């Protein structure tokens, strides 16, 4: 039974499962491995839902997450350039769990070879255009890393891994599709160049905008989207989803009512602080939606979460609309960035009131 008293992250399991089902079907149709990124939900319980759609291998973004998910999963890629200081934690991961690391630097390979007491698979991180981490396809460093991997005994070179994070900075499906095409082209050229030398070479991509916009995933061997499990207002703006694909909403009590604003208990410690820019140029930290049934419905015209401090949130909009809320009412709000809101809230409440733990649960 759902009883809300404080800021609560509601999860609509039916929407969430439908998001998983659609993405898994797209991967299956394209014949590529679906290795979803679990950094968005960070939950063993939600992880189990993926299994019902055929998922056997997962992606995480920290050794800490690998430790957590290794309780239930047997094939984990840690998709962040490896921090050599955590090598002992990798050694301590269950031997029954296949572990893949990402590297960019020959010295990391040498240090891993010297300190690993278990076998790992290794992907070379490629910069497919995002410009955050990864090697450019033409850099001599790429050959150096491959050479160092060929000589290593504990490390098996698996292939190339990229993340087209620049897909988050565009606002149309056509632009996302262009990024998707360019990223695949990079991977295809790498495959063409190295497949003969490394049979079974893998190419792995996978951000939610590209994976949502693409009609099929052909041209790579693996896709790793994460955010699609919940989606959010950022993905809506990019064109990755519709409003009714967003699977999480915050519920917050109104604690102060003014003519021109409502103040809720619900701040940066609950939502995170990612923001979008609204049509009027104002910051938006969330959109107010209607309460509907046990969950939520469409947007309440013009009501936005316009400011966040540590524990307070300020909702603005037309005074006639604000007037209909009272102190003590609960307001439903779609988050700007569901990964960060989930990480801040550290647990989920389903529409029937079931609590679902998050890795970071207190």
Out of 48, 83, 114, 294, the only residue in the binding site for a second copy (CB under 8 A) is 83
Position 67 contacts a second copy (CB under 8 A): no
In the complex, what is the shortest distance from the CB of residue 29 to a second copy, in angstroms, rounded to a whole number?
A: 29
Q: Are 356 and 348 in contact (CB under 8 A)?
A: yes
The structure tokens 């049979």 sit at 199
Q: Which of residues 20-49 bind a second copy (CB under 8 A)?
A: 39
- What are the C-alpha distances in Å from 73 to residues 34, 40, 44, 119? 14, 16, 9, 17
Position 104 contacts a second copy (CB under 8 A): yes
In the complex, what is the shortest distance from the CB of residue 208 to a second copy, in angstroms, rounded to a whole number?
A: 12
Position 81 contacts a second copy (CB under 8 A): yes
The structure tokens 């996302």 sit at 176
Position 113 contacts a second copy (CB under 8 A): no
The structure tokens 């190295």 sit at 194
In this structure, what token pair is assigned to residue 138? 């033409």
User: Which of 288/315 has CB closer to a second copy?
Assistant: 315
In the complex, what is the shortest distance from the CB of residue 33 to a second copy, in angstroms, rounded to a whole number?
A: 23
Q: Please name the residues in contact with 292: beta carbons below 8 A apart, sequence gap of 6 or more.
A: none
In the complex, what is the shortest distance from the CB of residue 344 to a second copy, in angstroms, rounded to a whole number?
A: 8
User: Which of 293/328 has CB closer to a second copy?
Assistant: 328
Residue 337, SS3 per DSSP? coil
Position 247 contacts a second copy (CB under 8 A): no
d(CA 180, CA 164): 8
In the complex, what is the shortest distance from the CB of residue 306 to a second copy, in angstroms, rounded to a whole number?
A: 11
Per CB under 8 A, the segment of 60-68, 237-245, 292-300, 315-323 that binds a second copy is 60-68
Q: Which of 225, 223, 220, 221 is nearest to 240 (CA)?
A: 225
- Burial group, residue 138, by CB count within 10 angstroms (0-12, 13-18, 19+): exposed
Q: Output the 3-class SS for 257-293.
A: EECCEEEEECCHHHHCCCCEECCCCCEECEEEEEEEC
Position 336 contacts a second copy (CB under 8 A): no
Position 99 contacts a second copy (CB under 8 A): no
Out of 263, 305, 315, 331, the only residue in the binding site for a second copy (CB under 8 A) is 263
Binding residues vs a second copy (CB under 8 A): 4-6, 39, 61-64, 80-86, 89, 104-105, 107-108, 111, 125, 132-134, 165, 253, 255-257, 263, 265, 268-269, 272-274, 307, 309-312, 314, 326-328, 339-340, 343, 346, 359-362
């Amino acid at each position: 039974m759902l009883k809300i008293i404080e800021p609560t992250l509601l999860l609509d399991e039916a929407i969430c499962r439908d998001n998983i089902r659609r993405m898994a079907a797209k991967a299956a149709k394209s014949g590529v491995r679906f290795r979803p990124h679990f950094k968005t939900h960070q939950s063993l319980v939600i992880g189990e839902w993926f299994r019902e759609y055929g998922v056997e291998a997962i992606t995480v973004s920290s050794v800490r997450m690998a430790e957590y998910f290794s309780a239930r999963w047997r094939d984990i890629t840690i998709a962040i350039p490896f921090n050599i200081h955590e090598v002992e934690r990798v050694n301590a991961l269950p031997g029954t769990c296949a572990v893949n690391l990402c590297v960019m630097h020959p010295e990391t390979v040498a240090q891993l070879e010297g300190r690993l007491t278990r076998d790992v698979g290794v992907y070379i991180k490629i910069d497919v255009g995002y410009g955050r981490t990864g090697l450019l396809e033409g850099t001599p460093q790429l050959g150096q890393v491959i050479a160092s991997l060929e000589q290593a005994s504990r490390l098996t070179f698996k292939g190339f891994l990229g993340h087209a994070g620049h897909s988050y900075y565009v606002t149309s499906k056509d632009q996302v599709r262009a990024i998707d095409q360019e990223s695949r082209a990079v991977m295809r050229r790498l495959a063409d160049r190295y497949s003969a030398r490394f049979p079974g070479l893998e190419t792995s991509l996978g951000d939610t905008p590209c994976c949502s916009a693409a009609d099929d995933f052909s041209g790579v061997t693996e896709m790793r989207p994460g955010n699609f499990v919940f989606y959010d207002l950022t993905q809506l703006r990019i064109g990755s989803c519709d409003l009714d694909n967003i699977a999480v909403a915050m519920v917050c009590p109104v604690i102060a009512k003014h003519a021109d604003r409502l103040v809720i208990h619900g701040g940066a410690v609950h939502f995170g602080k990612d923001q979008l820019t609204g049509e009027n140029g104002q910051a938006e930290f969330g959109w107010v939606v209607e309460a509907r049934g046990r969950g939520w419905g469409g947007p309440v015209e013009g009501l936005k979460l316009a400011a966040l401090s540590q524990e307070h949130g300020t909702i603005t909009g037309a005074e006639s609309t604000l007037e209909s809320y009272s102190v003590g009412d609960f307001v439903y709000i779609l988050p700007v960035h569901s990964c960060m809101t989930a990480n801040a809230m550290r647990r989920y409440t389903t529409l029937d009131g079931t609590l679902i733990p998050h890795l970071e649960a207190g």
